[in-house]
């Protein structure tokens, strides 16, 4: 009888703990995945450089979003690799950024100037895909926006 009581109480405790452990696992997993950003390249001098963030949303994509993102990434890598820390963030998984940066539309480019480890607001370019049809104008628009935002 004593063994049955012990087995029964172990089963009871296990039945109470299992949902708790599952919930804890889900919370830990979501906390880690939500804190991870898709870095375009590593910032070797942590928080000493301005940050460029491309926000997109796979739930609300535009026809030229992928092409626009690739062009912005190419501009960032070729012109700003040593001067910026860049991220690519899917708002489908990080909707908390909508109110933080007042994001509109399916695609936004945000620049956060950082000076001596401190950020000073942000600059936002909404819907950069609207200029995609003229590649030279697009590159100039993005470059001018970044240059005016980080200096």
What is the distance of C-alpha 96 from the center of its chain?
A: 10
Q: What is the pLDDT of residue 15?
A: 45
Tell me the per-residue pLDDT of 120-136, one tens digit each, with 9 for 90 and over. Answer: 789 999 999 988 889 89
Whether residue 108 is predicted with pLDDT greater than 90 in this model: the reply is yes
Is residue 127 packed enough to be buried (19+ CB in 10 Å), middle (13-18) or exposed (0-12)?
A: middle
CA distance 20 to 22: 5
Is residue 141 packed enough to be buried (19+ CB in 10 Å), middle (13-18) or exposed (0-12)?
A: middle
Element (H, E) at 40: none
The pLDDT-based confidence of 41 (bands split at 50, 70, 90) is very low
The pLDDT-based confidence of 21 (bands split at 50, 70, 90) is very low
The pLDDT-based confidence of 47 (bands split at 50, 70, 90) is low
What is the distance of C-alpha 80 from the center of its chain?
A: 18
CA distance 141 to 127: 12
CA distance 121 to 74: 25
Neighbouring CB atoms inside 10 A of 52's CB total 26
Candidate ranges 6-15, 27-36, 100-109; pick with highest mean pLDDT: 100-109
Q: What is the pLDDT of residue 118?
A: 73
CA distances from 72 to 55, 68, 78, 79 (A): 11, 6, 10, 10
- Mean pLDDT for 8-32 is 43
Computed on alpha carbons and rounded to an integer, the radius of gyration of the chain in Å comes to: 22
């Amino acid at each position: 009888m004593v063994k049955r009581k012990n087995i029964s109480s172990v089963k009871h405790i296990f039945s109470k703990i299992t949902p708790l452990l599952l919930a804890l696992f889900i919370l830990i997993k979501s906390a880690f995945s939500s804190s991870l950003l898709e870095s375009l390249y590593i910032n070797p001098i942590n928080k000493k450089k301005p940050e460029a963030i491309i926000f997109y949303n796979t739930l609300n994509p535009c026809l030229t979003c992928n092409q626009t993102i690739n062009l912005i990434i190419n501009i960032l890598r070729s012109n700003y690799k040593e001067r910026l820390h860049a991220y690519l963030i899917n708002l489908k998984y990080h909707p908390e950024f909508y109110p933080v940066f007042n994001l509109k539309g399916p695609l936004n480019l945000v620049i956060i100037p950082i000076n001596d480890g401190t950020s000073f607001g942000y600059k936002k370019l909404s819907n950069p895909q609207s200029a995609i049809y003229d590649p030279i104008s697009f590159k100039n628009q993005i470059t001018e926006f970044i240059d005016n935002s980080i200096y």
